[in-house]
Chain A
Amino acid sequence: MTLSACRAPTLQRHKQMTSQELFDLLGKSFGDKIRRKTEFRETTFTIAADDLREIANFCRDELSFDYLLDITSIDNFGEEPRFEIVYHLYSMPHGVHLRLKLKVPDESGTVDTVSDIWPTANWHEREAYDMTGIKFNGHPDLRRILMWEGYPYFPLRKDFPLEGLPSEMPDIAFTKVTPMEGGPFVTVPSTAGSKDREPRARSPEL
Chain B
Amino acid sequence: MSQSHVARQLSLEFAGWSFSAALDVVSWSYYQLRVQPAILTSNMAEQRATAYDSKIEGNVIFTRLDAALNWVRKNSLWPMPMGLACCAIELMATAASRFDIARFGAEVMRFSPRQCDVMIVAGTVTYKMALAVKRIYEQMPEPKWVIAMGACASTGGMYRSYATLQGIDQLIAVDVYISGCPPRPEALLAGLMKLQEKISRERSLRNQKPELAERLEKALP
Contacts and interface: CB of A to CB of B under 8 A. Distances in A.
A158 to B, nearest CB: 13
Nearest to B132: A173
Interface in A7-39: none
Contacts of A175: 127, 162-163
Q: Number of contact residues on B: which range applies?
A: 10 to 19
A77 interface: no
5 contacts: A162-B161, A163-B161, A164-B163, A173-B131, A184-B160
B158 interface: yes
Contacts of B162: 153, 155, 160-165, 175, 178
Interface string B137-163: 000000000000000000010101111
Contacts of B128: 146-148, 173
A119 interface: no
Nearest to B159: A178
B33 interface: no
B131 A180 contact: no
B124 interface: no
A127 to B, nearest CB: 13
B109 interface: no
A161 B166 CA distance: 16
Contacts of B127: 173-175
B126 to A, nearest CB: 9
A147 B162 CA distance: 10
Which of B158, B160, B170 has its CB near the most chain A CB atoms (within 10 A)? B160
A8 B127 CA distance: 46
Nearest to A181: B160
A173 B128 CA distance: 6
A163 B160 contact: yes
Contact of A173 (B130, B158, B166): B130
